[in-house]
Amino acid sequence: MLLFPVTIFKDSMVVYSINDIEKLSGVKAHTLRVWEKRYGIIQPKRTETNIRYYLDEDLKHVLNIALLNKKGIKISKIAKMPDQEIKTKVAQLSDVGTEFEDYLDSLTLSLLELNELKFNRILDSNIKQKGLERTMMEVIYPLLDKLGLMWITGSINGAHERFVRGHIRQKIIACTDKIESDPNKSTFIIYLPENEDQELSLLFAHFLIKKFGFTVINLGLHTPVKDISDAAHVAHPDFIYTIVNHNIAGMSMSEYVNSLKATIPDGKILLSGIQVAKCDPDPSGKINVLHSFQALSQYLEEISPKKKHAASLVAQL
């Protein structure tokens, strides 16, 4: 991850160093210099002290070139193409053919352009081919990591972030709604505590839990303990699941866990998040700490109604 980007500000415009371009595009700085000197394929601007710097259009141009090069087109040939031809070929490749694998680069380009049609096509194609779970792990979360890096370097603004998160949110909800609920299965209450706002993670957890055959009651973001207690009194859940990345206001993690245990005396509490990973919130075994979505998925598989049913059939043989 790019922790200290060497970003230059010139005439109130955010521009990028060669190291920024390397981190954002995946093209090594040495390679960029070769492209510049040998092929003239990219021409950075220079400061008065002869330091290279790049603008937004240069970043997009490098991303386009990198996409074509990954698809086997030689740099010498790309160098002879007019800019419009490069963009046209990239658009054709990004039109979600089943053989097209550079989804992250293509999503990045569509994000920078706020191209809703292309962004949705790429995500829909991935979900159709891989399913939502693999798409989240292999495409969406890497994209969100890259989004954080692009925010640091000034490549994107609030509009870009809202664009990405809004469309991903729609995809997760649509996939979740397609799963039929069974009111006779075990029930989960899921939520985010007060001061937590990682909604996409909560929605993805909702999808996973429902996918494995459980009933889900989603209380949403910024949920106080009293609301959890009220919901538990009505629904009598078998499990509570939440993610804790920030300190709980006014109490320690162990105090917060004890307050949750009081809401569900006979059930299990599943916890994820940075604050949970820092401590052992409950050594009694009533609390299950899950350090990743893979761990959540594995836990759900172990306790899923289908697995229990299969184990019961084996026992009867």
For residues 126 and 103, is the Cβ–Cβ distance under 8 A? Answer: yes
Average pLDDT over residues 199-209: 96
Q: Which is higher by pLDDT, 209 or 247?
A: 209
pLDDT on residue 284:
64
pLDDT on residue 214:
94
Given pLDDT bands bounded at 50, 70 and 90, which one contains residue 269?
very high
Q: Of the given ranges (19-28, 177-186, 213-222, 307-316), which has the lowest mean pLDDT?
A: 307-316
142, burial (CB in 10 Å: exposed 0-12, middle 13-18, buried 19+): middle
pLDDT on residue 240:
96
Residue 51 has pLDDT above 70, yes or no: yes
What's the mean pLDDT when you consider all of the chain?
Answer: 82
H-run or E-run covering 14: strand 13-15
pLDDT on residue 100:
43
Q: Which is higher by pLDDT, 131 or 317?
A: 131
pLDDT on residue 102:
62
pLDDT on residue 101:
46
pLDDT on residue 211:
94
Percent of the chain with pLDDT over 90: 34
Q: How far apart are CA 270 and CA 265, in angstroms?
A: 14
The residues with which 150 forms a beta bridge, in sequence order, are none
Given pLDDT bands bounded at 50, 70 and 90, which one contains residue 48?
confident
Which whole-number Å values give the CA distances from 262 to 182, 228, 229, in the listed order? 27, 10, 8
Given pLDDT bands bounded at 50, 70 and 90, which one contains residue 152?
low
Other Cβ atoms closer than 10 A to 130:
14
For residues 117 and 91, is the Cβ–Cβ distance under 8 A? Answer: no
Q: Of the given ranges (48-62, 132-146, 219-233), which has the lowest mean pLDDT?
A: 48-62
List, edge to edge, every strand of the sheet that includes 187-191: 215-218, 187-191, 239-243, 268-272, 287-289
For residues 52 and 17, is the Cβ–Cβ distance under 8 A? Answer: yes
pLDDT on residue 11:
42
Q: Of the given ranges (206-210, 212-216, 262-266, 274-278), which has the lowest mean pLDDT?
A: 274-278
Residue 311 has pLDDT above 70, yes or no: no
pLDDT on residue 207:
97
Average pLDDT over residues 64-84: 86
pLDDT on residue 179:
93
Instruction: Say if pTM beats, i.e. exceeds, 0.85.
Output: no
Instruction: List phi, psi (to 5°) of 143.
Output: -65, -40
Q: Which is higher by pLDDT, 14 or 51?
A: 51
Which whole-number Å values give the CA distances from 4 to 20, 22, 31, in the listed order? 10, 13, 21
Q: How far apart are CA 20 and CA 59, in angstroms?
A: 9
Residue 57 has pLDDT above 50, yes or no: yes
Give 32's contacts (C-beta < 8 A, 6+ positions apart): 18, 21, 22, 42, 62
pLDDT by residue (tens digit) across 81-131?
Answer: 988 888 788 766 655 443 444 677 788 888 888 989 889 988 998 899 899
Q: How far apart are CA 89 and CA 64, in angstroms?
A: 9
Residue 2 has pLDDT above 50, yes or no: no
Given pLDDT bands bounded at 50, 70 and 90, which one contains residue 212?
very high
